[in-house]
Amino acid sequence: MRRTLPSTRDLCCFEAVVRNGSVTRAAAELNMTQSAVSRRLGYLEDLLGQRLFLRERQRIIPTPAARDYADSLRGLLNEIEVATTRMLTEGRQGGVLTLGCLPTFGSRWLVPRLNRFLSTHPTIDINLVSKIRRFDFDSEDIQAAIYFGPAVWPNCNMRHLMGESVIPVAAPSLMTGASLPELLRGAPLIQHTTRPTLWREWLAHAGIGTLNGEAGPKFEFYSLVIEAAVAGIGFALLPEFLVQREIDSGALVRVSDNAMPCTDSYYYVYPDRYRESHNVQVFGNWLFKEMNAPDPAFQTAV
């Protein structure tokens, strides 16, 4: 037995106390008594041979080393929980499907539709993980992902979902009635940090080569680009389907109808080892059909 490996119960109690900043709140979260949580902290301190908390009156303050230790443990404990849940449901239809997704695509397109999937597949729980960079199926606990980019991903299966076209949009207050080049000179061009050449490409596509397409405020997420455009900070270049709500409500207007098709597309991606996974295949089939289904946000209740 590894003598330096604490019990998972001790680690869970420790992580919960650091995160909550309180033994009382951690005990309530873990459905344990305060004294039981305190005993577990004591066991862990004895094993590590050092104090993890400074106790001042009614407060319990983690040491800097303890806080770093808790930060390292948090992800590991989450991975253990997900792996255990997957093992408990192995061989059964249902269980957890951990899905990677682009943040704005997830919040604007996927989540509004997700109840359609969950209502017809109640035994499958979706664990949605978001980030804008490409996922690493070897080092991250992801079974499948919705990805935007070129159709290249080694050792993975890729199913094309849809292409993308972008259009320039802006708050109505920026629409002065001037010509398109003059309009675009009148306010900043809002940039998306992961697609830094997009404006330059659209300006060339529209035959406007005299503007600096790489200057302007930069935002990492499309959701922030959208909010910046609504706030009147500048002109934004966005996929129309992501801003349809704002266009329909009048919060944004099309600066030009000249849509530029992008060379990349959206794909449903999963590693070869999940080729036979029931959850991965069922969700992929639903996702493919959902591409042509109406957006629930624009459906009128009968």
pTM: 0.65
What domains can be seen in the chain, in order of their start residue?
8-88 (1.10.10.10), 95-163+264-298 (3.40.190.10), 165-261 (3.40.190.10)
Express each pLDDT in 263-281 by its tens digit. 999 999 999 888 888 899 9
CA–CA distances in Å: residue 177 to residues 26, 173, 174, 184, 250: 59, 11, 9, 11, 17
Assess whether pLDDT exceeds 50 at residue 300: no
Express each pLDDT in 73-132 by its tens digit. 887 887 787 677 666 655 555 678 999 999 999 999 999 999 999 999 888 889 998 887
162 contacts 264 by C-beta, under 8 angstroms? no
Q: Which of 161, 167, 133 is nearest to 239 (CA)?
A: 167
Express each pLDDT in 2-33 by its tens digit. 556 888 899 999 999 998 888 988 888 888 89
What are the tokens at 196? 């830094």
